[in-house]
A and B are shown apart, each in its own frame.
Chain A
Amino acid sequence: MTALKASMAGTVLNILVAEGDAVTAGQAVITIESMKMEIPIEAEVGGKVEKIHVEVGSFVNEEDTLLTLGE
């Protein structure tokens, strides 16, 4: 299990995957809006999306967990 964390504080703009989806390392999975910029959050490792912890519009702080990836 790997937790994918927010690289900076902002608002969740888009969620590009669903629970159960397979993702590859480097794939953009969530977009955060911060400082009026779109910030792509990429999976650091490949795996299956186990749980998405946020919804569109949620405020997240730096280091908050966005989703968890399983094997």
Chain B
Amino acid sequence: MTKTSETTGYNERLEQKLATIFAGGHPKYHEKMKESNKLFVRDRLNLLFDGGEYVEDGRFANVEAGDLPADGVVTAIGKINGETVCVMANDSTVKAGSWGSRTVEKIIRIQETAEKMQVPMLYLVDSAGARITDQLDMFPNRRGAGRIFHNQVRMSGMVPQICLLFGPSAAGGAYIPAFCDIVIMVEGNASMYLGSPRMAEKVIGEKVTLEEMGGARMHCSVSGVGDVLVATEEEAISEARRYLAYFPANFAVKPEKVAGTVAKAGRSLEAIIPENQNAPFDMYELIDQLIDEGSFFDIKKLFAGELITGLARIDGQVIGILANQPKVKGGVLFGDSADKGAKFINLCDAFSIPLLFLADVPGFMIGTKVERAGIIRHGAKFIAAMSSATVPKISVVVRKAYGAGLYAMAGPAFEPDVCIALPTAQIAVMGPEAAVNAVYSNKIEAIEDPKERLKYVQQKHQEYKEEIDIYKLASELIIDEIVAPHELRKVLSQRFAFYETKDLPMPYRKHGVFPV
């Protein structure tokens, strides 16, 4: 920095202030971070932004306090993949990343900036929560912490909002991840909880570890609050950069098309799909044959694995895929899979990402357990989200699509732009076995000779299968097209390109009453 006169020494004074700010909290907290494989907030930002470059607002917040550099949060503007983004990043070396009044004001301001500029907003969270000593200045007021969540909700679907969770996200702070489009969590360090294990023991008498109650793996596999589980902070940052490449800056523009690649080398779809409707297979192998190699971004991979949701590219075009996974729970839809599907559809529809549904679904789960858990209202969420989505929707019936499973996977009644059947497709209210039992159970039981009974059942199965033959459905214009499996990738690529100009007016109303 240029030297200034001894009387004022203004540059020297500035330099000294900046040095304390860039140093963050006490060295012992930096040491602690290193021990838990955590990076200092400014090192995180260097990795996150293109070229490690960013500009910062409110850098001097609480500079007079001496021990609160930047008031424990860095708010910055920089570029990711060449596109502008706004970021707030907690500094856990400063009072454990807790929020004081200026911390909160800085977060609110960077959100307002992201909204005005219509660019993505990233939250790098590592915070113990509210600074109780400052509560009147940061908790209940108009520009208190509540405003952060209010802003998140208003900005939802306007610009992408991403949470990278590096440490705790405690109490009210746990709503930052909850209101984001996606939450990336570092295993072993990231956690979310409303009340800490210590509080749980005091208030309700439960003894539990942090990992069990609010750890990254638990949230990514059981609660579904987390979306992507990673091993290191570096991986979290590279995944966030990779994720953003699928998205436009805001809802008003479309995702960028890039040069496509070929699909991964592998078996043909004909070889992958078993002809026996009831036999399991790995849907991931099929997806690999449809998309550009290496382009899949799995969302909630460890949660409700019976439904696969992820972003991908076909010939460079961004799409969102929802696919039943016959290998996990037979591909049957449960409450959790319905929630997973609904959130993913909302995400894609908000940012003009076309949807591909790959159906191989026996239906929604039945039985006491799921009925008591409200599978009907969970299923309604999924169907409502799919039904309201106005982006291009292609429904492909891979094998079976029974009952409400056909509806959830964008069946013909829900205005997909096309409903394609593979020759292995079977569309019906229920499968042949269940249907014959339902309709003819009295007659079947009345036949005493076991051989005769079997013969009768087999005959009825045959009749049923003829009734739901896929060419009959095509002839009745129920499905729009039958495609040979090995041609599916090409057909999808062509059709997504044709549907690019799809533009539906929104219905005249404020909003639907969304089932929850």
Across the interface, A39 reaches (CB within 8 A) one of B330, B366, B367, namely: B330
Q: Which residues of B contact A38 (CB under 8 A)?
A: 278-280, 330
The CB with the most chain A CB atoms within 10 A, among B330, B334, B369, is that of B330
Interchain CB contact under 8 A, B330 and A9: no
Interchain CB contact under 8 A, A8 and B365: yes
Across the interface, B332 reaches (CB within 8 A) one of A34, A40, A61, namely: A34
B interface residues, Cβ below 8 angstroms from A: 278-280, 326-332, 334, 362-363, 365-367, 369, 431, 433-434
A interface residues, Cβ below 8 angstroms from B: 7-9, 34-40, 61-62
Shortest Cβ distance from B369 into A: residue = A62
Interchain CB contact under 8 A, B278 and A36: yes
Interchain CB contact under 8 A, B331 and A37: yes
Interchain CB contact under 8 A, A37 and B326: yes
Q: Which residues of A contact B278 (CB under 8 A)?
A: 36-38
Interchain CB contact under 8 A, B365 and A40: no
- Interchain Cβ contacts within 8 Å, total number: 42
Q: Which residues of A contact B367 (CB under 8 A)?
A: 9
Interchain CB contact under 8 A, A36 and B279: no
Q: Can you show 13 pairs from A to B with CB atoms below 8 A apart?
A: A7-B329, A9-B365, A9-B367, A34-B332, A36-B362, A37-B280, A37-B326, A37-B330, A37-B332, A38-B279, A39-B330, A40-B280, A61-B369
Q: Which residues of A contact B369 (CB under 8 A)?
A: 9, 61-62
Q: How far is the CA of A37 from the CA of B330 in the complex (A)?
A: 6
Interchain CB contact under 8 A, A36 and B433: yes
Across the interface, B330 reaches (CB within 8 A) one of A34, A61, A62, namely: A34
Across the interface, A40 reaches (CB within 8 A) one of B327, B366, B434, namely: B327
Q: Which residues of A contact B331 (CB under 8 A)?
A: 37
Other than the given A7-B328, A36-B431, 12 more pairs (CB < 8 A) read A8-B329, A8-B332, A9-B365, A9-B369, A35-B332, A35-B365, A36-B433, A36-B434, A37-B278, A38-B278, A38-B280, A39-B330
The CB with the most chain A CB atoms within 10 A, among B363, B366, B367, is that of B367
Shortest Cβ distance from A61 into B: residue = B369
Q: How far is the CA of A37 from the CA of B277 in the complex (A)?
A: 8
Q: Which residues of B contact A37 (CB under 8 A)?
A: 278, 280, 326, 330-332, 362
Q: Which residues of B contact A8 (CB under 8 A)?
A: 329-330, 332, 334, 365
